[in-house]
Amino acid sequence: MRIKSIFSNSGGILFSRIFGFVRDLTMASVLGANVYSDIFAVAFKLPNLFRRIFAEGAFTQSFMPSFIAARYKTIFSAKVFSYLFIIILILSLIVNIFSYQITAILAPGFSKSTLLESTKYVAIQFWYLPLIFIVTYLGSLLQYKEHFATTAFATTLLNIALIIAMLLYKDAPKEQILLALSWGVIAGGILQVIAHIIVAKHFRVLKVIKIGFSNFKAKSQSVKKDTQRFFKNFFPAIWGNSTLQIMSFLDTWLASFLVSGSISYLYYGNRIFQLPLALFAIALSIAIFPTVSKKIKANDKSAILEFKKGFWILIYLLTAATVGGIIFSNEIIWLLFERGAFTRENTIEVAKVLDMYMIGLIPYGLSKLFNLWLYANHRQSIAAKIATVSLVSFIAFALMLIKPMGAQGLALAGSIAGIISFFLTIKEFGLGQMVTIVDKKRTLNFTIILTLFTIFLSIMHILWIHI
């Protein structure tokens, strides 16, 4: 396992998430948890949904194995980029033309005036998608060369752009702040593209791209089978990687029918939940994926050792984050957000939502790891079927829990769906291989350490309350 790659990737994500929390802290202070923060959450939901699908899932996990297997790699990469970039540009135009209708789908519970106000922000922010696709494409080629830091750190540029926008317009009317934030999203995307171009030039990735496009017309047919295999895997991979994001998307849709601020409660709670998920599970998965893909293609049986090491690293880190997040949920939200327009009542509601999200952290995190086995073996269609079952489960539990529990019920429904997804993924991975990974000695040690850790945190929480 490439520990250096994991730490560079994890460090970059941590740095980016710190700025992300500064962004959310500033936003909570400037906008609070009300209709204006709900509008931004809805407008940013769609481009952020596609960003997570591309940057943290479908594209790289379909592109990498196909790129490794392709005979003419430069031409293959050029062809894939051309096709997808055209599709994304067309999609961006459609969203801009039908922005009102799409906003109504995103938040059907909004009043007509709120929908009209939200429309322009949705239209502007969706142009972030073509920019982030360029970033993801360049990032995938850099990952093939075992360079992860640039992509990991890049989201920091988006957060910095949004922070600057809010600081410049903090005393302006709320509508003007939302407009500044929307253009800040675009500025952040442009900065990420520039950063990746600079680093890609250093690693001679731009030369690879240039060769691919210069030979594109003459040798396009030579990569026809590779391209077909990629797209055969890519679209199921989109679905397979999108479960968590689509659930978040549906959270917003359903929460728009609840009391004002519910969308924001889910947004802030999900932001905390996403930190350990990205910092540990996504960072580790991204770092080991090129190595795992190359070993599986070469029929190297040591690939299973990568999963064993990854499993035990994640189980310790994710369990610690889950226990700590639930015990200190109120204190975490208070520390990060309770200031300015963000009230004590907001803190209590977001903390309740966070508790429900944290239940799903371990299953979602481990699923990220074991999904690599499916993607590296070109079994994206299986991952898509698992995602479908998980999504249907979420919808069923969300409809059952939304009335008695409100926003908390939506978060809990997502966690239950994550648990179902994890067990289905392990079934496909193979129980025999899973037994090899989970040995009795390590399981006993883990149980003892977890018990002591939980007792320690509980004592610390009691002391904190009485101070």
DSSP string, 287-342: HHHHHHHHHHHTT-TTHHHHHHHHHHHHHHHHHHHHHHHHHTHHHHHHHHH-STT-
Of the candidates 26, 291, 248, 34, the one whose C-alpha atom is nearest the C-alpha of residue 143 is 291
Q: Please check whether residue 109 is in contact with residue 263, taking contact to mean a CB–CB distance below 8 angstroms.
A: no
How many degrees, rounded to 5, is the angle at CA 278 between CA 29 and CA 202?
100
Residue 52's pLDDT is: 64
Whole-angstrom distance between the N-terminal and C-terminal Cα of the chain?
Answer: 44
Residue of 273 and 239 predicted with greater confidence: 273
Q: Which residue has the higher pLDDT, 342 or 10?
A: 342
Provide the domain count of the chain. Answer: 1
**At residue 301, what is the residue type?**
K
pLDDT digits (tens, 9 = 90+) for 89-119: 998 899 889 988 888 877 777 778 888 888 8
Average pLDDT score over residue span 294-317: 82
Q: Which residue, 357, 362, 282, 350, is CA-closest to 317? A: 362
90 near 245, Cβ under 8 Å? no
User: Of 6-10, 48-52, 249-253, where does the model show the most confidence?
Assistant: 249-253
Question: If you average pLDDT over residues 164-190, what whole number do you get?
Answer: 90
CA distance 446 to 456: 15
Tens of pLDDT, residue by residue over 425-446, are: 999 988 778 878 887 778 888 8
pTM, to two decimals: 0.72
pLDDT-based confidence at residue 243 (cuts at 50, 70, 90): confident
pLDDT of residue 466: 56
Segment 41-53 mean pLDDT: 73
pLDDT at 250 over 60: yes
H or E stretch at 29: helix 3-30
Closest CA to 369 of 422, 418, 415: 422
**Cβ density class 177-211: b for 16+ within 10 Å, e for less:** bbbbbbbbbbbbbebbbebbeebbeebebbebbeb
Summarize the confidence of residues 290-299 as an average pLDDT: 76
Residue-number span of the structural domain to which 417 is assigned: 3-466
Contact in structure between 122 and 39 (CB atoms under 8 Å): no
What is the average per-residue pLDDT within 248-252? 77
Model pLDDT, residue 363: 93
Of the candidates 439, 300, 287, the one whose C-alpha atom is nearest the C-alpha of residue 372 is: 287
Q: Report the percentage of the chain scoring pLDDT > 70.
A: 94
Residue 308 banded pLDDT, cuts 50, 70, 90? confident
Q: CB atoms < 10 A from the CB of 257, how many?
A: 12
| pLDDT for 116 | 84
Binned at pLDDT 50, 70 and 90, residue 130 comes out as very high
Residue 348: what residue type?
I
Residues ≥6 apart with Cβ < 8 Å to 149: 8, 9, 11, 12
Span 18-23, average pLDDT: 83
Q: Would you say residue 18 has pLDDT above 60?
A: yes
Residue 320 has pLDDT above 90, yes or no: yes
Distance CA 338, CA 334 (A): 5
